[in-house]
Structures are given as structure tokens and as C-alpha cells.
Chain A
């Protein structure tokens, strides 16, 4: 299943992905970077489309069942 994965080192913590996500799957961890809750993420790609740093990407993740 497709999931959003964030590159912590590139993320600028602007929070745009979080406001864009209609599933509220993204939180900004202590103003440092965005964290995706893969249980909530449906892989829609809204966050990737908005991210100005190109740090959050949709990847074909293995379904770990969590």
C-alpha cells in the first residue's frame, strides 16, 4: 500500500503537509520535522504535492500490518 514517507533531514517543518492532509495523519514533531502516522495515511499524495522542500514522498511501502 502507498504511504507518505518524510525525509527528516530535508524537512523544514513548515507544516503545510499537515494542514493539507485530510486524514490528519501528519504531526510536526517539536518543530523539527513532519511525522506521518502510517496507520492513518491513505497515500493520497496531497502532502507530497504541497511540500515546498520536496521532502515528503509517496512510497510503495510494504504492508507491515500495523
Chain B
């Protein structure tokens, strides 16, 4: 029997992108905006293509968890409790995440409208404020642009930290079981697949 050997593709190395992203954002918060690519691309794949090609092949974060967990053996590789991949938890976490995303957008709006001022902090786990002053010393952009950067970077860092914790405790890519992007794109794909079935 012929066994096809899997070739490596350029997109197998996107875990490097994850590290580059957090490093760039550490030095200049405006780079946090680049993280929007990881938000928009999966949605385009899901809405236009009706697939999870992003998750399945090119998510740098998932690859990073795999690299650290499997290749560098930083994971206990234990099955996570069932509730983590249950529908109520996954959709609940997505709702929570979107609420927090909305709050972040609102804070950006406050700075935009002049009702609030730029706060150079990164908020971890939606609770702990970490001073992040070095990452921004003014730019040609208005303050709200930087405020969005701090907010978005906080979100990205927090979710990666949660992902790292569950990677150590459970299987390498346990985060993917309840990742809001993963849940959202799968939800969209399911809706699209149902439509197709009804068309027939």
C-alpha cells in the first residue's frame, strides 16, 4: 500500500508568527493591530468558503501550543474534562469573549470621543492591570488607535495564557476545544452546511 508522506508547507511555520506578534507588541503596541488578521481571516474562510481551513492549517496559535506541548513535551497530554468541549461551555465562553471584546471597543470609543484618556496598561484575564508604558510613546495616530492596541493585545495575550495553562494541564491543543474563534467559525460552517442541504 502506498503511503503518502505529508510534505511541510509554508503555513506549517505560522507558529513563528505568534511569537513575532507578541514580541512586536511588547515593543510597540501599534503592532497589536496586526492581530486582526487572525480574527478576520478565519471568518472569511468560514463565511466565504464554508470551511475551517484557517484552524485546520494555518493557525499560528494552535501550532504554537502543539510545538510546545508535543515537541517540547510541556504538556501532560491528559484528556480535558468533558465540560470543556461541551456546547454550553463553548458557546458560553464565546458569548463572554464577545462581551469583553465589545467592552474593549467601547473603551476605545471613549478615548476616541474624548470622554476617556489613553491608559497604557495591558489587562490580563480581564482583571489584572499590568503597566505597559514602554510600548507607546506617541505616534502620528490619534490616541484611540493606541487604546485599541492595548485592549486588543490584552485580549490576545490573555487567551494565549489560558491556552498555555490548559496545554500544560491537559492535551496540547485543549484551547482549540473552546477557542472563541474556533467555535464561531464552526458555528458559521454548520449554518452554511445546513443551508446547502436544504437547497437540495
User: Which A residues are closer than 8 A to B by beta carbons?
Assistant: 10, 12-16, 18-19, 22-24, 28-32, 49-55
Inter-subunit contact B186/A52 (CB<8 Å): no
Inter-subunit contact A55/B85 (CB<8 Å): yes
Alpha-carbon separation in the docked complex, A28 to B193 (Å):
12
Specify the main secondary structure of chain A where it touches its partner.
loop
Specify the main secondary structure of chain B where it touches its partner.
helix
Alpha-carbon separation in the docked complex, A18 to B185 (Å):
18
Check: B189 CB closer than 8 A to any chain A CB. yes
Q: Which residue in B82, B186, B193 is a CB contact (below 8 Å) of A12? A: B186
Alpha-carbon separation in the docked complex, A32 to B55 (Å):
12
Inter-subunit contact A52/B189 (CB<8 Å): no
Inter-subunit contact A14/B176 (CB<8 Å): yes
Number of A-B contacts (CB under 8 A): 92
Chain A residues lying within 8 Å of B171, measured Cβ to Cβ, are 50-52
9 more A-B residue pairs beyond the given contacts A16-B176, A30-B196, A54-B79, with a C-beta to C-beta distance below 8 A: A13-B186, A15-B52, A23-B3, A28-B51, A31-B45, A32-B189, A52-B80, A52-B173, A55-B85
Alpha-carbon separation in the docked complex, A13 to B173 (Å):
12
Chain B residues lying within 8 Å of A18, measured Cβ to Cβ, are 56
Known contacts A32-B193, A52-B173, A14 near B55 by CB under 8 Å: yes
